[in-house]
Every structure is written in structure tokens, then in C-alpha cells.
Amino acid sequence: MDESPTLELVTHGVAKGGEAVAREPDGRVVFVEGALPDERVMVEISESKKGFLRGRATEILEPSPHRIDPSCAEVANGCGGCDFQIASPEHQLELKRVIVTDALERIGKLEQIPDIVTVPLPASGYRTAVRCVVSDGQAGYRARRSHEPINIDSCYVAHPLANELIQTGYYGTASEISIRVGAATGERLVVADSSSLGAQVPSDVVVVGEDELKAGRRAWMHEIVANQKWRISAGSFFQTRQDGAQALVDEVREAVGELPPDARAFDLYGGVGLFAGTVFGPDHHVVLVEQNASSVADAKVNLEGRNVKLVRSKVEGWSPKRADVVIADPARQGLGRNAVSRIAATDAAVVVLVSCDAASLARDASLLARKGYHLDSVTLVDLFPMTSHTETVSRFSVQM
């Protein structure tokens, strides 16, 4: 078998997926795993396409001044979970700023981009929700750029309550599990992709299989954010860290700004009601739109007694009415053309967009710009330290 070609390259940028960017002599872009910008590296090429190459840094000839030794030993063992462990925490934030700015310029084609504000959060023991692959009953992660499972001794970013379940739990015949823990409540929930039979975990842990959920069993845990208790069911979305959820609430509230007492608002992709239940006052008229039945059921409990109307619907199929402000927190793919058209139909003066992907933020910003909305601010809330994932809160307003 032919050996993979190796190139000596100088990196000069960072791509959305966290890889460093270089160019080979013929001009093709090379995405380099395990490298930072401004490094001279030896790169083993693993993929060759007409427009780009992809490879892995096998030797760092001239390291970046921002390079550090990974904080987690599992990186050396091949764990693919944290691609930014080689960069200092401060430089990680700078790289994410570059990723978001580049996306807004290159994909969004925006001419004026506000300075991106960053909100750092603790980098270890933060994840209250983790997804694990199971091998021989033991929870672990997948190897870097592979589907192969690897066992881990400890996860640097998992909350201690979740880490214990990774280290000591036994999960029978499941092939994947999702672990959720309440940082403030101490409650723990494990959802197995098949039957929960054979699982062995501490007595306080609720374990449920996907088959049981489909048969009608309900299972949930609780978390406390903004001094409120939130029910989060096994089939509902919630942020992956408690302090991150609080930071998002703070930033969304600031982006919404002061509202008149009788203001009307839409909370799109509203989930279990986090923003509807924290950002608005008792006299505001709020409509929460959410497709997921589990999340709507949780929102009904979490928002009891509040002036919030729940609408179970896809945002693309929702009938918009006039509003003063719209909050939208879509999935990774973003809003898209149809959802943006419905937002614009509300004539809202302010739109606050929560995005978990730089490219989708850029696409949505471009679509909103075509509807007359100007990008006022972008705040990068660092929900995922040690990784290249970005989370942003952006404010758009109608230009008069």
C-alpha cells in the first residue's frame, strides 16, 4: 500500500471546523487537523479533492506562541471530543472570533460587521449533557475522525455528576447513551438508544430506553436557571451547561432591551420555555412556537401562570402576527429562507437570534439583511471551551 504523502506547510488561518488552514505550492487549500494558525508543520495528507486537501499535523516544526499541552490526557489517546485543547483559553476565544467574523464576511457577504464581544465561561467540568458511545457496556467517546469507540478514564469537560456515570456506569446492550445532570439540583437522567435493561448505575439515576419512551413512558430531570426550576424531559432540548444557559438568558435579555408594558413577542424554537420565562415581564404578550411535543409539554409546566401562549408548530408553518420583538433559537441548520420570511412578516423592530453554528448565523444574517434588518451586535458566549464550536447571540433591528 502506498504511504500517504507528507507536506511541509505554514498555516495562516482557521476553518469553521477548527482545523488550521494552509496552502500547498499549487494553491490548493489544505485543512490541517492538530495545528494552529501561524505554525510550520509536517502534514500527512489523508484526503485529496480537486479544490482542497485534508491532513493531520504529524510534527510541529515551529509552534504558535499560543500552543499549549492539552489539559486532558485523553487527547493523546485519540479522543475526538475537544479539538481546541492545543490552544490557550484566550487564544481559543480569538480563534472563534475569527471563525464567526470570517463566516459573516465570506458567507453572509455583510459589509459592516460589529466588533464581536466574547463571554468566557469555565473550561473544565462544565458539560451537564454528554452523548457517549457504548462498547461492552462501558461508556466512552469516538476516536478522532472515526466511528471507532474508545474507552476513557475521565472526561475533562464533563460535569462531575456526568463524569461518574461515564467512569463507573454499565449500560448493558445499548450502543449509545445520553447523560443529563442538573448542576443545581443533582438530578441525573440516562437515555439509552435501545432498552435500558441491564444498566447498572447509582440508585439516584433514572435510566430509560428509547423503546420505553416510544411506548409512552415519561422521564425527566430538573435544572435551575435564573432562580427558576425547569423541567427537562428525555425528549426535550436544553443547553449543555447550566451557567451557559444563564449566560444566554442574560445576553438575550440585554439584546431585547426595554419593552413597553404591553409589548408583543414571539419566542421561536422556544423549547422548554427558557427565554419566554425569563426575558419578558408579566404584562408582555408572548407566543412560544415549538415543534417538539416533549418540549411543549415541559414548557406548559415551566410557564404555568405566565402570559405565554404555546403553539406546537414548525416555525416554517406558523402564521405570524404583528410583534415588537422576535427571539429565535433554531437548531444547527439555522432559520432558512421560509422562517426568515415569517419573522419579517411580524414587522418586529428587533430580532434576537441565538446561533450554534457560524455558517448558519452568516446565512441567516444575509437573509435578514435582505428583509431590511441590520446586524447591530454579536456576542460570542463560550458554551464549549476546548472545542471549536461557537454559540452566538446576535441583535438585528429595522433601519428606519
**CB 78, CB 143: distance < 8 Å:** yes
pLDDT score of 198: 85
The C-alpha angle with vertex 186 and arms to 185 and 188, in degrees rounded to 5, equals: 115
pLDDT score of 3: 66
- The topology (CATH level 3) of 90-122+241-398 is Rossmann fold (3.40.50)
What are the C-alpha distances in Å from 114 to residues 70, 104, 119, 158, 379?
32, 10, 16, 33, 10
pLDDT score of 78: 84
pLDDT score of 400: 61
pLDDT score of 237: 96
Question: Which among 278, 327, 281, 283 has a CA at the least distance from the CA of 299?
Answer: 278
Q: What is the CA radius of gyration of the chain?
A: 22
Domain boundaries, the chain: 1-66, 90-122+241-398, 129-225
Q: In which residue are the cell numbers 432498552 written?
A: 195
pLDDT score of 87: 96
pLDDT score of 76: 82
Q: Tens-of-pLDDT digits for all 400 residues of the chain?
A: 456 789 999 999 999 888 999 999 888 999 999 999 999 999 999 999 888 999 999 999 999 999 999 989 888 888 878 999 999 999 999 999 999 999 999 999 998 999 999 999 999 999 999 999 999 999 999 887 778 888 888 999 999 999 999 999 999 989 999 999 999 999 999 999 987 778 999 999 999 999 999 999 999 999 999 999 999 999 999 999 999 999 999 999 999 999 999 999 999 999 999 999 999 999 999 999 999 999 999 999 999 999 999 999 999 999 999 999 999 999 999 999 999 999 999 999 999 999 999 999 999 999 999 999 999 999 999 999 999 999 999 999 997 6
Question: Which among 176, 154, 178, 179 has a CA at the least distance from the CA of 167?
Answer: 154
DSSP 149-207: EEE-S--SSB-HHHHHHHHH-EETT-SEEEEEE-TTT--EEEEESS--TTEE--TTEEE
Own/partner long-range contacts of 87-90 (Cβ < 8 Å, ≥24 apart):
87/36, 89/120, 89/123, 89/385, 90/66
155 is catalytic: no
| Phi/psi at 359 (5° precision) | -65, -40
- The Cα 145–Cα 55 span in angstroms is 11
**CB 225, CB 182: distance < 8 Å:** no
Residues ≥6 apart with Cβ < 8 Å to 21 = 11, 12, 13, 14, 15, 29, 30, 31, 32, 37
Tell me if 1-66 shares its fold with 90-122+241-398. no
Catalytic residue among 79, 82, 132, 356: 356
pLDDT score of 2: 53
pLDDT score of 1: 41
End-to-end CA distance of the chain: 65
CATH number of this structure's domain 1-66, picked from the four choices 2.40.10.120, 3.30.565.10, 2.40.50.140, 3.40.630.30 = 2.40.50.140
Q: At 209, which helix (H) or strand (E)?
A: strand 205-209
